[in-house]
Amino acid sequence: MRPLFVIALFAAAAAFTWSDCKAQSRIIPPLYGHQVVGGDTLPSFRLARIPVYSSRYRRRVSLRKYERLVRAVRLVYPMAQEAQELLAQMEATLPTLRTKKEQEAYVKSVERDIKTRYTPVLKKMSMYQGMVLVKLIDRQTGRSSYALVREFRGRFSAFFWQGIARMFGGDLKAEYDPEGDDALLEQLIELYELGLL
């Protein structure tokens, strides 16, 4: 048994020539990459950045609050991203329309599309998820929800919806603060964007 193994090993070694064994002369497939260091070819890998945060959720109550925020971010963050894209599209389209009447008709048509698309989802959302959505819209667009409503629907409409939000404990003027109150929310968004949430 052993002589057959040795013969097979020599046969396999003879199949390769010395020029094929030199790493510098072979073409390495670009799966990961390589670099030559001191005459040696070493594989190189590009790893994704993974953030590490301290664990501050030792009590059951704070863990529940954290999990609640995670669920809200999973549901609401894609909507905030779509709001950013929609706002950019509207800001690009509005200057091309000639009259104020055409602009108002365009804004109303966009509003109708938003209502038909998001009303079923928004009806199922909790107040907490709505407040997170308001914060994330401010983060994505750079403007508060109140400012957006005032810009596209007028002062009275913005005042009315702010009053409704206030009655239920919300605030359309809430601003996103990634360094202060919303630091945890910023961490969760970073994890979501990396696909780790």
pLDDT digits (tens, 9 = 90+) for 133-177: 889 988 888 888 888 888 878 888 888 888 888 888 888 888 888
Q: What is the pLDDT confidence band of residue 57, given thresholds at 50, 70 and 90? A: low
Torsion angles phi and psi, residue 196, rounded to 5: -105, 5
Cβ contact 127:169 at 8 Å: yes
Cβ contact 37:24 at 8 Å: no
Cβ contact 79:124 at 8 Å: no
Residue 61: is its pLDDT beyond 50? yes
Cβ contact 51:183 at 8 Å: no
- Nearest Cα residue to 148 out of 172, 167, 131: 172
Residues 6+ apart with CB under 8 A from 41: 23, 24, 28, 34, 35
Does this model's pTM top 0.85? Answer: no
Supply 67's token pair. 């999990």
Average pLDDT on 39-47 reads: 77
